[in-house]
Amino acid sequence: MNILAVIPARGGSKGIPRKNVRFLAGNPLISYAITNALKSEFSVDVCVSTDDFEIEKVAIKYGAMVVKRTEELSSDEITLDPVIYDAFIKMSKQKNKEYDYVITLQATSPLLTVDILDNAITECIINNYDTIISTVNQPHLHWEQSKEGGFTPGYKERLNRQYLPKRYVETGAFLITKAECMKPTSRIGKNVSVFEVPESQSIDIDTPADWWIAEKQLTKKNILIRVDGYSGIGLGHIYRGLALAYNLIDHNVQFVLSEKSDLGIEKIKNSHFPFTIIKSNKEIGKLISSQKIDIIINDILNTTKDYVTYLKKLNVRVINFEDLGDGADSADIVINDLYAPQRNGDHYFWGSDYYIIRDEFLLSESSVFNEVVKNVLVIFGGADPSNLTLKVFNAIQSNFGYQNIQFNFIVGPGYPHYNDLKNLAKKSSLNINVIRDVKVMTEYMRNADIALSSQGRTMLELASMGVPTILLAQNQRELKHEFGYLNNGFINLGLGEYIEEETVKDTLEWLIKSEQVRQQMHDQMKLKDLKNGLKRVLQIILN
């Protein structure tokens, strides 16, 4: 097949000055159409029809031939039909070819990919269409103006968009036609079909707003978040991954989890982000290649040097969270929001300045300090592997001075003792409410006068809400978390499994009575800026 692609590009654009040669995401606008045509699996001669010297120079630089347009064909009133016909005739003579197909390829559709273009050419040839036109399916309830001046519905019945009949709108990206159908006043034959392009490739740049959208699309990153969540480690990593994903709206985000992440898989599934389940980290390579991943974010605790080296060979940017492993030194970026500096390197970012707080905490007001304690919150994460929840429950049973206090015990979906705790609460003489898998945590934290918590990310959420907190660490790793101390508003009792119930009871009773201490703890928490960490982290990831 002899195929000619004609890219019409007139100078003097008024809506967007110098539109065709202005740089869009690092390249002249017209270069996208030229590159697509030249990369086609078909043998395509590519020419630009123009009246502009600057466009001519750019077109030649990117490998296209140039057909100089006459003044008659350059006016505002002229349609594309005679312009494309003129280029077709001139190129036929210059190349001494009889073309089989002529493609009108618009410079204003930079999101079009060569795969879509080639599929359209193939479909046109196989089905022997005279003409095939690029379209996008945009079913909407629409109205049409009648000749009499009134308006009539362009639909038979009012339905939700997904149930409306298909409505194909031309995108302007391409029009493929048999050369025998080419005329000075028409490029469309009798046997016409449409080719549906993805909505993401359908933009036709006509306004500055169109330009902005196209640039956003062209600079999108493909981001893979590797994360786990199961009873042994809880759901903190999952929540951070989701907080990142929700705020990377300008990019394509998907998750990958190990098959043991039963709790995490359920959370990600409910979020409606795409995800993949793997048996081994070695499977990530295929995903990175097939999805053309630009950035991989690992939130899986310590990484090995072999794993990170393997990723780096795949030519992706490697971002690790909460990583104290050997692989951290080889990553591009390591962000450890809970730790004091433990390794040297410009790619390490340590401390609470990089804490990613969930959206609900950005919107919520902090708690109000009360002189008298009326509400105590007990929260030890989504799984509470050390069952510190039960330790606190048992601790408060031996003191009947708490009858006027409401105790809210919040447990996550991975907490295995929920039913037992619920039954114990019913038998208690205290006001105890046991709640599982809370959807809006800020409601409970804002009403709390004191909290008891583990030393993970929940303590940072409590700090953002200004809740004086007694900490019991779940494990040795949590003891390394540098934020949970008195200067930030916490009383830290150390490793929870070694703390006696009597110590928990005495500490809580003392804090309830110590109004001045609670006031100072509340004030210390409010001094911390924990609501801008997400902005800092996003800038680091996308730098």
Q: What is the mean pLDDT of residues 366-383?
A: 92
Distances (CA, A) of 87 to 50, 81, 111, 143, 523: 10, 10, 24, 38, 75
The CATH number of whichever domain residue 12 belongs to comes to 3.90.550.10
Question: What count of residues does the chain have?
Answer: 543
Q: How confident is the model at residue 471 (pLDDT cuts 50, 70, 90)?
A: very high
Which residue matches tokens 């070694």?
A: 498
Same domain, 121 and 154: yes
Instruction: Tell me: pLDDT of 399 over 70.
Output: no
Q: How confident is the model at residue 247 (pLDDT cuts 50, 70, 90)?
A: very high
The CATH number of whichever domain residue 380 belongs to comes to 3.40.50.2000
Q: Which residues contact 56 (CB under 8 A, 6 or more apart)?
A: 48, 50, 66, 68
Say if 424 falls within a structural domain.
yes
* Residue that is last in its domain, among 170, 199, 217: 217
- How are beta strands 168-178 and 131-137 bridged, if at all? antiparallel
Query: HSE of 81 in the Cβ direction (CA atoms, 13 Å)?
Result: 11
Helices (H), 484-543: 501-513, 515-526, 533-542
| pLDDT tens, position by position, 510-539 | 999 999 999 999 999 999 889 899 999 999
For residues 163 and 232, what is the distance between their CA atoms, to the nearest angstrom?
45
Say if 537 falls within a structural domain.
no
The interaxial angle of helices 236-247 and 533-542, nearest 10 deg, is 70
Burial of 68 (0-12, 13-18, 19+ CB in 10 A): middle
Same domain, 482 and 464: yes
Q: What is the mean pLDDT of residues 317-346?
A: 92
At residue 148, the pLDDT reads 82
- Side chain identity, residue 222: N
Q: What is the mean pLDDT of residues 420-433?
A: 94
Same domain, 233 and 339: yes
The CATH number of whichever domain residue 320 belongs to comes to 3.40.50.11190
Burial of 137 (0-12, 13-18, 19+ CB in 10 A): middle
* Residue that is last in its domain, among 297, 315, 350: 350
Instruction: Tell me: pLDDT of 400 over 80.
Output: no
For residues 417 and 419, what is the distance between their CA atoms, to the nearest angstrom?
6
Say if 456 falls within a structural domain.
yes
Angle in degrees, CA 303, 305, 311, rounded to 5: 85
| pLDDT tens, position by position, 138-190 | 888 888 888 888 898 888 888 888 888 888 999 999 999 999 999 999 999 99
Same domain, 339 and 372: no
448: nearest Cα among 438, 157, 474, 98:
438
| pLDDT tens, position by position, 265-299 | 999 999 999 999 999 888 999 999 999 999 999 99
- For 32-85, the DSSP string reads HHHHHHHT-SS-EEEEEEES-HHHHHHHHHTT-EEEEPPSGGGSTT--HHHHHH
Say if 357 falls within a structural domain.
no
At residue 153, the pLDDT reads 87
Same domain, 313 and 375: no
Say if 459 falls within a structural domain.
yes
Domain span at 330: 221-350
Token pair, residue 127, equals 């089905």
- Residue 95: left if φ>0, alpha if ψ -120 to 50, beta else—which one? alpha
| pLDDT tens, position by position, 17-42 | 999 999 999 999 999 999 999 999 99
Q: Are 6 and 87 in contact (CB under 8 A)?
A: yes
| pLDDT tens, position by position, 50-78 | 999 999 999 999 999 999 999 899 888 89
Same domain, 226 and 192: no
Instruction: Tell me: pLDDT of 541 over 80.
Output: yes
Same domain, 181 and 58: yes
Say if 541 falls within a structural domain.
no
242: nearest Cα among 253, 230, 258, 231:
253
| pLDDT tens, position by position, 180-216 | 999 999 999 999 999 999 999 999 999 999 999 999 9
Token pair, residue 110, equals 């930079």
Same domain, 324 and 370: no
Angle in degrees, CA 69, 174, 54, rounded to 5: 35
Q: Are 250 and 268 in contact (CB under 8 A)?
A: no
> What percentage of the chain's residues is helix, strand, coil (to nearest 5)?
40, 25, 40
At residue 157, the pLDDT reads 86
Same domain, 301 and 235: yes
Same domain, 171 and 265: no
Q: How confident is the model at residue 262 (pLDDT cuts 50, 70, 90)?
A: very high
Say if 356 falls within a structural domain.
no
Query: HSE of 232 in the Cβ direction (CA atoms, 13 Å)?
Result: 6
The interaxial angle of helices 457-465 and 236-247, nearest 10 deg, is 60
For residues 9 and 20, what is the distance between their CA atoms, to the nearest angstrom?
7
Same domain, 238 and 130: no
For residues 144 and 154, what is the distance between their CA atoms, to the nearest angstrom?
6
For residue 227, the SS3 value is strand
Same domain, 195 and 258: no
* Residue that is last in its domain, among 180, 200, 217: 217
Q: What is the mean pLDDT of the chain?
A: 93
Radius of gyration of the chain (CA): 32
The interaxial angle of helices 418-427 and 388-397, nearest 10 deg, is 10
Count of domains forming the chain: 3
Say if 543 falls within a structural domain.
no
